[in-house]
Chain A
Amino acid sequence: MKVNKHINLLWLLGSTILCLTFLLLIPITADCSAEAVQGETILEFHDHCADSGYFIMKDVDDGSVIMMTARLIHVDDEYITGNNTHYIVERVEGNTAWARSLGDIDLSQPPDILGGIFKSGMLSQLTQAENRDFTIAVYHSHGAESYVPSDGTESIPEGGGILDVGEAFVEALEENGLEVKHSPETHVPHDAGAYNRSRRTVEELMQDNANVFFDVHRDAVPAEEYKAVVDDDQIVQIQFVVGRQNQNVEVNRQFAESLKNATDKLYPDLIKGIFMARGSYNQDITPLALLLEVGTHENTREGAEESVALFADAVNYYFAGPEAQRAQEAVGGTALRTILWVILIALLATGLYLIISTGGIEEARAKISHFFQKEFAEFKGRRRGDSGNDE
């Protein structure tokens, strides 16, 4: 028995080392194929790529810069520019992502996904589009983020300038007559657990009847990247981020595209683009959720506040404007398709689990058959007396 104890101890030690190795030393192969970063560990890579700079997306055909972001870009990430040109990333070399244009897309024509089959009460229920029963939630997963020119630093753990930008957004939304909830939680410490903590804020806001969520951030690239001129005034732009690793991604994307379309009508160039990036950003919790990057740490906080006030007009236009019903129906159609996919995947996962746990397809089939026979019999009231003996 002592041998067993030693084996278990070694097993435990080995597993721990394995997991730590996995986290610390696994080489970054995540699409960073350039010599400069090949073979780096997470720590080295993070130092190299994130702390010392940012990432640039370039057109693979002409080499022109499409956008810059502090978020790591991966192959298959997508980007829709302010002019609605759709790009997909083909390869990443160091800090440069090479993307191919898939052409321009017309955001004013949301796809009629289910051919009108479900365009009835069900869709309205999904999006609550008919009665304008929307409550907007504004929160900040990284509440320490700040704007250097105004706040003096890029991060304030007690509460960064981003909270003020959120407050300006909330005030403007309320002036438009929308119902809004704002969480001033900072979700510090500023680490990889921040989105786990902000998940709780989202749930609290949902209990408060919020059904549209904006996670307000700022980017960390040069200020010029987020500057544009609207009506002769220089403004700070806003970028939407949609998490690709969540089951609501199609709905989130549809929401982002239709909201951009609405904003473009009021304030062209206010929206910098839509970045479909790796991650979930808690957008798996609810379909009508977006992450906003309001300028960068090098823009002024006041500029960011002015931009979110303009964006608030667009949000109101989207949820209460003349085309609100149509845009939201498209979102609802996508939501329904997502639910069907999720049910299918859940059924497949259950089947797989059953095969593993019973030891084979035949055994799994027998178990399912037994279940349905039992349930059917009980439904018809034939085997009431037997129900206690089934197992």
Chain B
Amino acid sequence: MNTGIIILLAVAVIVYAGFAERALDRLRLSDKAALLFLVAMLLGGFLPDVPLGANFGINIGGGLIPLILVGYLFSKAESWEIGRTVLAIFIATAVAYGAMKILPLEPTYNLFIDPLYLIAIVAGLIAYLAGRSRRGAFIAGVMAIILSDLLAFVENSLMGVTASTVIGGAGFFDAVVISGFIALGLAEIFGETAERLAPFFGAKTRSEEGMDEDDKGKGREEEGNEGE
């Protein structure tokens, strides 16, 4: 049983059982839409890749569907959130691409975790810390890997080396999907834990401060347009 399938099953169970209500609300996704995206990612991974040029293409489940989800989440984001998320994408991409260059070639050199997950964790961590939103974390987690792949493609082209690049080519097993979900998971765990611990340290919670980016837009919709 591979990592992608484990994540898929765990997320599907959590969503189906209604345990991810708050997280999905913050992503502004319904249970049904979330399950639809999960199924589309899984099945899309088994469809043929879409060619986008010589030695370049995109996998439907591992690349196209996550990109559509990213587009949807962007469309639901507030204008002030978009700028910050875009910045997070660039920083996460730079770190992810830099990590691929800096980290030693062989996974045996890793400190405690395989580079596949380390890069995803770093991208997710930056994305969440930068935007402090679930939406931003997922978007940046996915985009950091996609843009790193594009940079690798450009690098090969500049060096005159012929090598195939298929964005999200491993479907649900791909680093794109794994990174997106790890980033979202980190955001959820960090966000929730920070919220729960805040009162113990005498601090106001982010929602009390009006800083919860995920809820901010929703609050505006419900309570009328209150400026930042």
Interface residues in chain A, defined as those with a beta carbon under 8 Å from any beta carbon in chain B:
1, 4, 8, 11-12, 14-16, 18-20, 22-24, 26, 28-30, 42-43, 46, 50, 70-74, 142, 157-158, 185-197, 199-204, 207, 243, 245-248, 277-281, 284-286, 338-339, 342, 346, 349-350, 353-354, 356-357, 359, 367-368, 371, 390-391
The CA-CA distance from A248 to B3 in the complex, in Å, is 10
The CA-CA distance from A196 to B170 in the complex, in Å, is 9
Closest A residue to B94 using CB positions: A16
The CA-CA distance from A222 to B130 in the complex, in Å, is 47
Q: Which residues of A contact B14 (CB under 8 A)?
A: 350, 353-354
Q: Which residues of A contact B116 (CB under 8 A)?
A: 195-196, 199, 280
Contact: A280 with B100, CB < 8 Å? Answer: no
Given contacts A4-B228, A42-B102, A200-B170, contact A22 B192 (CB under 8 A): no
CB distance from A286 to the nearest CB of B (A): 7
Contact: A22 with B6, CB < 8 Å? Answer: no
Given A185-B163, A191-B105, A280-B107, 14 extra CB contacts under 8 A: A20-B98, A28-B111, A42-B103, A187-B163, A189-B159, A195-B116, A199-B169, A200-B166, A245-B110, A277-B108, A279-B114, A284-B2, A338-B1, A350-B14
CB distance from B47 to the nearest CB of A (A): 9
The CA-CA distance from A58 to B131 in the complex, in Å, is 49
Max count, chain B CB within 10 A of own CB: residue among A30, A187, A193? A193
The CA-CA distance from A192 to B227 in the complex, in Å, is 45
Contact: B105 with A16, CB < 8 Å? Answer: no
Given contacts A189-B155, A350-B19, contact A203 B104 (CB under 8 A): no
The CA-CA distance from A4 to B216 in the complex, in Å, is 14
CB distance from B177 to the nearest CB of A (A): 11
CB distance from A291 to the nearest CB of B (A): 10
Residue pairs across A and B with Cβ atoms less than 8 A apart, 5 shown, are: A23-B99, A192-B104, A203-B174, A246-B3, A371-B18
Closest B residue to A186 using CB positions: B163
The CA-CA distance from A359 to B13 in the complex, in Å, is 19
CB distance from B100 to the nearest CB of A (A): 4
Q: Which residues of A contact B20 (CB under 8 A)?
A: 357
Of residues 43 to 93 in B, which have CB atoms within 8 Å of A's CB atoms?
45-46, 59, 62, 84, 87-88, 91
Given contacts A1-B227, A203-B171, A203-B173, contact A281 B95 (CB under 8 A): no
Closest B residue to A360 using CB positions: B196
Q: Which residues of B contact A28 (CB under 8 A)?
A: 111
State which of B106, B115, B162, B170 has its C-beta within 8 Å of the C-beta of A72.
B106
Q: Which residues of B contact A73 (CB under 8 A)?
A: 108
Asked if B42 is an interface residue, CB under 8 A from chain A, the answer is no
State which of B6, B103, B106 has its C-beta within 8 Å of the C-beta of A346.
B6
Closest B residue to A358 using CB positions: B19
Asked if B211 is an interface residue, CB under 8 A from chain A, the answer is yes
Q: Which residues of A contact B6 (CB under 8 A)?
A: 247, 342, 346
State which of B3, B21, B100, B104 has its C-beta within 8 Å of the C-beta of A284.
B3
Q: Which residues of B contact A193 (CB under 8 A)?
A: 100, 115, 119, 148, 152
Q: Which residues of B contact A367 (CB under 8 A)?
A: 18-19
Q: Which residues of B contact A284 (CB under 8 A)?
A: 2-3
Closest B residue to A30 using CB positions: B111
Contact: A195 with B107, CB < 8 Å? Answer: yes
State which of A8, A22, A391 has its C-beta within 8 Å of the C-beta of B84.
A8
The CA-CA distance from A29 to B20 in the complex, in Å, is 38
CB distance from A362 to the nearest CB of B (A): 14
The CA-CA distance from A12 to B129 in the complex, in Å, is 6
Closest A residue to B106 using CB positions: A71
State which of A24, A199, A354 has its C-beta within 8 Å of the C-beta of B173.
A199
The CA-CA distance from A350 to B130 in the complex, in Å, is 26
State which of B22, B102, B108 has its C-beta within 8 Å of the C-beta of A43.
B102
State which of A8, A23, A50, A353 has its C-beta within 8 Å of the C-beta of B95.
A23
Max count, chain B CB within 10 A of own CB: residue among A197, A339, A390? A197
Quick one: CB contact mask for B123-154 with A, threshold 8 Å, 1 for yes? 00110011010000000000001001100100
The CA-CA distance from A203 to B169 in the complex, in Å, is 8
Contact: A278 with B110, CB < 8 Å? Answer: yes
Given contacts A16-B95, A359-B196, contact A196 B175 (CB under 8 A): yes
Contact: B113 with A245, CB < 8 Å? Answer: yes
Asked if B9 is an interface residue, CB under 8 A from chain A, the answer is yes
The CA-CA distance from A196 to B88 in the complex, in Å, is 22
Contact: B110 with A279, CB < 8 Å? Answer: yes
Q: Which residues of A contact B185 (CB under 8 A)?
A: 353
Given contacts A16-B95, A278-B107, contact A199 B126 (CB under 8 A): no
Quick one: CB contact mask for B162-188 with A, threshold 8 Å, 1 for yes? 111110111101110000000001001
Contact: B193 with A356, CB < 8 Å? Answer: yes
State which of B84, B106, B165, B175 has its C-beta within 8 Å of the C-beta of A199.
B175
Contact: A280 with B114, CB < 8 Å? Answer: yes
Q: Which residues of A contact B115 (CB under 8 A)?
A: 192-193, 195-196
The CA-CA distance from A346 to B11 in the complex, in Å, is 10
Q: Which residues of A contact B59 (CB under 8 A)?
A: 200
Closest A residue to B55 using CB positions: A185
Closest B residue to A187 using CB positions: B163
Max count, chain B CB within 10 A of own CB: residue among A24, A196, A245, A280? A196
Asked if B40 is an interface residue, CB under 8 A from chain A, the answer is no
Given contacts A185-B163, A192-B100, A277-B108, contact A204 B169 (CB under 8 A): yes
Q: Which residues of B contact A286 (CB under 8 A)?
A: 2
